[in-house]
Structure 1
Amino acid sequence: MTTDTPVLARRLEAILLIVDEPQSLVSLAAAVGAPVPAVRQAVEGLVADYDGETGGPRRGFELREVGGGWRLYVREEHDDLVAEFVGAQTPSRLSQAALETLAVIAYKQPVTRGQVASIRAVNVDSVVRTLVARGLVTEVGQDAETGAIRYGTTDALLTHLGINAIEELPHISPLLDDGADGFDEELVR
């Protein structure tokens, strides 16, 4: 358990650098093994440091409290620059979860996140956000009954796949196992 403020602040920075979602003071305290009041003080010190209030430069990022938690964000004045930079980068490969989610959306579109989640049996919120950010999936309307956003594929996906229309995707049924393997022929009758 550490309460040495400079060491604690550096440990918090390491955690905050890698998180995708805002982290509460309690979860940060548990992660670094320090009491919540010490973590609160260290977080306040980091905010002041990044804002240039401690004699150093104002950083291009900030530590912001959002939704009851803390996370590093790009400063608003650099949003356009960062968006341009990220857009110019060669997209990285999609994860297995993203590929599976993209396949469900492609074959079942228009489909809601809830419908995709029920098919995949996992939460797909962040994966859908990633696919939207990469321009492979887009919002195509709302479900009339639930008001949930429906998603479909984009022309960019068609380009990446080298097809002209989503109807050119291979039919899925010939690729699926019929479930007969492993059954004794006499028992099936």
Structure 2
Amino acid sequence: MDADRIERVIEAVLLAADEPVSIDRMLRLFAPGELPDENPRRAVRAALDAISEATAERGFELVRVASGFRFQVRQQYSPWVSRLLDERPPRYSRALLETLALIVYRQPVTRGDIEEIRGVSVSQSIMRTLLERGWIRVVGQRETPGRPALYGTTRTFLDYFNLTSLDDLPPMDEIESLMKPVLDDAKAADEGGAGGVPPPNKSAPAPHEPPDPPPMAEIIQMPPA
């Protein structure tokens, strides 16, 4: 099979797949003799490079994440694509995102560790949501009284945030950039959603506004209370 046909096959596979496809899985899709015998993996990588180059100016891109490769809409075109979808993306509270950020940068951690750093209790619903999303998992138990569960992140978390490994995490002071897509949704949820907030009553006294929360990076680096 020539290089152009290998490229088209892989392109079709990526379009049909509903999850990232690893190179090992791509290799298994070809019958014996369809890839060059001397270095089939190199042939697949060359096809992926060609696809990436061919889509450089398109509305979608080839992205490598922890589980493999996938096509996805470029971020700048997501507002238009979202109008096509009936289901609105989930919205997450800042408390949930702060909890996730602490697990990401301090893993493995217990729920008690997170509560000590944030200075407030972590609701069971937050931990349940993170577990159900598949972003965190129990990675062990701490050898202390009660043997509390230790939490860490998952491959699903890496895939969602377009990371190939934890080594790709931005520095702590840039955590807001990593969380930006879901932070925007959280802000909209806190405000009641676009178009869902009535205009303020100018004759009423201005309500007391709580101070802005500290930056997420500052929270992550806080010592336990």
* TM-score, scaled relative to structure 1: 0.43
- TM-score, normalised by the number of residues in structure 2: 0.36
Determine which structure has more spread, i.e. the larger CA radius of gyration: 1
Of structures 1 and 2, the one scoring higher in RCO (CA 8 A, sep 6+) is 2
